[in-house]
Every structure is written in C-alpha cells, then in structure tokens.
Amino acid sequence: MKKNLLTVIIGVVLVVIFVLLLFTYQVRKSEEVVVTTFMKPTANHNEPGLYFKLPWPIQKVFRYDQRVQNFEDKYSESYTADSITLLSSVYVGWHITDPGVFIQKFPGDPTFSVPVAQSKLEGILRAAKLGVIGKYDLSDFVNPNPKDLKFDEIEAKIQAKVQSELLTNNYGFQLDFLGFKKIGLPESVTATVFDRMKAERQVAINQLQSTGDSEALKIRATADRQSTEMIANATATARQIEGDGEAKAAETFNVLNQNPDLALFLLKVRRLPDLLNQKTTLIFDERTAPFDLFTSMSSNSPASH
C-alpha cells in the first residue's frame, strides 16, 4: 500500500514538473525573452521572474543576451586617399536593443541567428571602413608626429556610418564602441611608402633650411644697416666733439696768447700734480721750473713784505 502511494506521489510530482515545463518559463538577469505565437512575436520580457506560456508548437520562447558582445573583424585591405594599400583590423562591441525586431530580421534560434546578425554587421563595417579610410591619406595613420594622427576622428566616422546604417534598416541592435586593433602595410609597398615618406621629410627639411637661410640673410642685412648707421652717427658725434674742442682750444689759445705770463704759470701748475702725487719728498733746485713757483710764491706772500 505504501509503495503504491509513493508511486502515485512521484507520478504527480513528475506531472507537475512536466506541466510547469510546458506552461512556464523563467527569465534570467541580463537576458530578454521573446515569446512567439505560431512563429510571430507576441510578447517579450526583460525582468527576471517566472512567466506562463502555451506549450509548443503554439508558443515558443527565444532568449537573447542583453550584454555587450564583441568581435574583431578580419585583417583586410583598404585604399587611402593617396592610393596606398592599408591593412587594418578593428574591434567592435554591440548588443541587441529590440529583440522583437531582431527576431523578425534574423529569425530562428539565437544560437544561429546571432552569428548571422554579426556576419551582417561585419559586412556593414567592411563597407564603412572602405568609405572612410578612402578619404584620408596614409600620413593620417602613420606619422612621426603624434599630433598629425587622426585615429580618433576616423574611428568616430566609421562608427557613425555603421550606426546610421543599422538605424536606417532597423536591425534591432546597435553599435556600442569601435576602435582600431592593428594597422599595417603589405610587404610589396612598405619600402616604397617609406621611401616616399623620406622624400617628403627631405622636402620639409629643405623648406625649413631655405626659410632659415632667408631669415639669416634678413638678420645680417638688418645688422649691417644698423652697424653702418651707428658708425655714421658715432663719426658725426666725434667730429662735432672734435670741432667743439678745437673751437675751445682756439679760444683758450687767444686768451693765453694775450697773457703769456698766465700761460707759463698754468703750465707750471699742471706739472706739479704729476710730481707731487701720493706722499713725496722732493729735493729740487728752486731755479728750475716749475719749482721756481715756490720761490715766487714766497716772495709775493705778505710775510715777505
């Protein structure tokens, strides 16, 4: 009797579990569920919890991951504006924004439909890369001066172009971020490109040298002109001073010529400082000029009268 009861209980539990599996489904965090009725989307849920549904084939549940998915596209060739082959690869992050629209664009189980959507995104990305890279020169990607690189600008334009295509066609997913993973040049053009870069740098060097030589000539010409002006001004000043000195000398000569005794006296006085500098003891002949001044001074002093 007990065995029969246990069998019945187990049977009931299994039936309940089976019924729950048929008529309920669970939504986990970070996922969104789309419920289709006869393969047409009729409901979607993104809040975690337990929900009811009709059994298959009436209704079916499709689960989509809401987290950002990322991939790196193929290392492919593009042509720059100056006709150079550039190899590039970008990394991309994207996520599903509207599962109801997504399932109509990419029907089927997410295990298969999500890779199909990513393949579609890769095609859009490839076309956007070709279009944007073709508007920039190689020097915008490879340049010894970091300020001349335009990676941020190019990445933003590629992302905007891809995002515009996704919104226009309403695929139900969007691009979150994009950036260059690596860039390179084919071996067949590497040497040619570097030679051209060297030639461009040499042209820049020649231009700078030419500008420097021109500025040097201007500086030398300015210095020569200023030097000539300074010499001319100094010569004119010297001549004026010389003329003034000669005029004063002539005036003094006229005065001394009229007073020869005064001239002789001044001449003797001027010689005394040269002989009597610092502390000096003199033994001299009072009859010899200019020491005869002391004799004349003593004879003309009041004490001598």
Could you tell me if 174 and 93 are in contact, meaning their C-beta atoms sit under 8 angstroms apart? no
Q: Are 93 and 176 in contact (CB under 8 A)?
A: yes
pTM for this structure?
0.58
Q: What is the pLDDT of residues 128-164, one digit of tens each?
A: 999 999 999 988 998 878 888 999 999 999 999 999 9
Q: Looking at per-residue confidence, does 190 or 27 come out higher?
A: 27
Q: What pLDDT is stored for residue 280 in this prediction?
A: 63
Buried residues in 160-190 as b, exposed as e (16+ CB within 10 A): ebbbebbeeeebbbebeebebeebebeeeee
Look at residue 169 in the predicted model and tell me its pLDDT: 93
